[in-house]
Amino acid sequence: MDTMRHVGDIAKATGLTVRTLHHWEEIGLLVPERSEGGHRAYGPAHVRRLYRIVGLRRLGMPLERIGSLLEGDHDVGAALREQLVELDREIEQLTGLRERVGRVAGALERGVEPRDGDLLDLIEVMTMTETYYTPEQRVRLEERHRQLGEERMEAVQRDWTDLIADAEQHRMAGDDPTGPEMRGIAARWRALVDEFTGGDADLRASLKRMYHEEGPERASRGAIDARLMEYVGHALRVTE
Amino acid sequence: MDTMRHVGDIAKATGLTVRTLHHWEEIGLLVPERSEGGHRAYGPAHVRRLYRIVGLRRLGMPLERIGSLLEGDHDVGAALREQLVELDREIEQLTGLRERVGRVAGALERGVEPRDGDLLDLIEVMTMTETYYTPEQRVRLEERHRQLGEERMEAVQRDWTDLIADAEQHRMAGDDPTGPEMRGIAARWRALVDEFTGGDADLRASLKRMYHEEGPERASRGAIDARLMEYVGHALRVTE
DNA sequence: TTGCTCCTCACGTCACGTGAGGTGGC
DNA sequence: TTGCTCCTCACGTCACGTGAGGTGGC
């Protein structure tokens, strides 16, 4: 009774490729016998093992673990539970990723179509804020932005631009950072930070940490350089 | 102004590894300059590019695509939308996998703890039925099983065992498959199949296809071999 | 002789991790 | 001289896909 079957035969019956069967032999997962001519020969026991492999593979098991399970080295039930945990972890991670991408894509849809460079900036900022703010903080920030409204946000932006320009003028002029003009600027500065954070001390701390660890250039997206920050910082400290 | 920075420096500031920076240079994604001593030297432009890379990488983009995006070859918005579709596909696939594993694990919890060999059989059967039945059909099958109840299911199992044994006896005895006894057996056979499928023609067709493509041994889990199936098939055809 | 199946290398994939072995400035 | 950082190979990862080049039976 010639019950031995060829690779091509097996491949066709199972939907696997010949190369896959070769590979499984290479790693010792499913080692067929050989005919006189050196051709692979699969008997009923091989086929039985093969279908078990296919079943476990469909559950996403790595081939090495499948090998162990089939040798009876390990508990199949335990392996299944581990696999479940592993899959949940992967799904959670992918879902988080999808959310991130969705947020950027969402920002894209809501706003005007920005130029590519700006979009790359946006992605960079989102990455950075995700590093420094907790998810709850980010929610609070977004709420804060909504409260202020589009118009007020733009006004705040203009205020910042003006304030930074004013401060830079004083610095260039060599004015004393503890003098009366700079004290006034420090007060305006504080007010704007409060407007951004809504007076939330927690949020202000994260913002401060970001400025400290990333440096003012990156944190302010190039609006404030290190020398200006140093100069203003001086004024802020003396008026604290 | 020595604004150039070393690899180790950059690595520490960004949380990347030195090897990663090496790799990015190898593939031309981020190519620093070199100091006189042959050491990598990163300037502000490199750092800027680096943060954009990090941002895009956090969105799960492959490095090659990141390279294209940064060269301005492609539309960033379009890439984001593609990425979203891709991620949804992956999540869907993983979720399906998780469901499969969950079903097997669930069966494990509900029933008695089976021996490993039986569990491997179970996995194999689930794989096979998933290949031959549509999800809706599987739901109908489960409903059908619930309707019958545990007790009746076991009775059906016993009926099958008895019926197969009876048929095998006739076959061994060399009885005419179109004779009166085998006609009776064919009738009982049909009744049991109907009980299994609830008389659902669609389900019966899938079952038939499974027996045809996998062969009776595998489809019946070893209960019916090819010769017996052939013999009974004869009886079924003449009483159709 | 032509087709078909089978065989054995062996490189490529994706983004690095991990040594190995050695050099140059503080 | 000892530490520390830097450098360049080069193999390994996971499960095969994809040729290349050649052989044996119908």
Chain B residues near residue A51 by CB distance under 8 angstroms: 124, 127-128, 218
Determine, for residues B116 and A69 on separate chains, whether the beta-carbon distance falls below 8 Å: yes
Helix, strand, coil percent values for chain A (each to nearest 5): 75, 0, 25
- Percent of chain A scoring above 70 in pLDDT: 94
Average pLDDT over chain A, rounded to an integer: 86
What's the whole-number mean pLDDT along residues A91-95? 93
Is A9 in a helix, a strand, or coil?
helix
Q: What is the pLDDT of residue B23?
A: 96
- What is the residue-wise DSSP string for A164-198? HHHHHHHHHTT--TTSHHHHHHHHHHHHHHHHHHT
Q: Please state, in angstroms and rounded to a whole number, the distance separating the CA atoms of residues A55 and A123.
A: 42
CB B186 within 8 A of CB B232: yes
Distances (CA, A) of B170 to B70, B225, B233, B235, B239: 77, 15, 13, 11, 17
Which range, A215-229, B158-172, B219-233, has the best average confidence (pLDDT)? B158-172
What's the whole-number mean pLDDT along residues A124-145? 80
Cβ of A12 less than 7 A from strand C:
no
pLDDT score of A1 more than 70: no
DSSP 8-state assignment for residue A200? -
pLDDT score of B207 more than 80: yes
Hey, what amino acid is at B215? G
**pLDDT tens column, A144-203:** 878 877 788 778 888 888 898 899 899 989 999 999 999 999 999 999 888 888 888 888
pLDDT score of B33 more than 90: yes
pLDDT score of B64 more than 80: yes
Q: What is the pLDDT of residue B94?
A: 93
Nucleotide nearest residue B27, measured CA to C1'? C15
Q: What is the pLDDT of residue A234?
A: 93
Q: Please state, in angstroms and rounded to a whole number, the distance separating the CA atoms of residues B49 and B70.
A: 8
Model pTM score: 0.73
* Distance (Å) from the alpha carbon of A40 to chain B's nearest alpha carbon: 22
DSSP 8-state assignment for residue A29? S
What's the whole-number mean pLDDT along residues B11-31? 94
Give Cβ neighbours of residue B42 (< 8 Å, ≥ 6 apart): B4, B5, B6, B7, B9, B10, B32, B33, B50
CB A108 within 8 A of CB A174: no
Chain B residues near residue A87 by CB distance under 8 angstroms: 94, 97-98, 101
Chain D bases near protein Cβ (<7 Å)? 5-8, 14-18, 24-25
Q: What is the pLDDT of residue B5?
A: 92
Question: How far does the CA of B164 sit from the C1' of C22, in Å?
Answer: 76
What's the whole-number mean pLDDT along residues B51-70? 93
Q: What is the pLDDT of residue B114?
A: 59
Interface test with A, best of B14, B66, B98 (most A CBs within 10 A): B98
Give bridge partners of residue A217 from the DSSP assignment: none
- Contact A95/B at CB under 8 A: yes
- Of the candidate ranges A81-90, B62-71, B199-208, the one whose mean pLDDT is the lowest: B199-208
Determine, for residues A120 and B55 on separate chains, whether the beta-carbon distance falls below 8 Å: yes
Cβ of A48 less than 7 A from strand C:
no
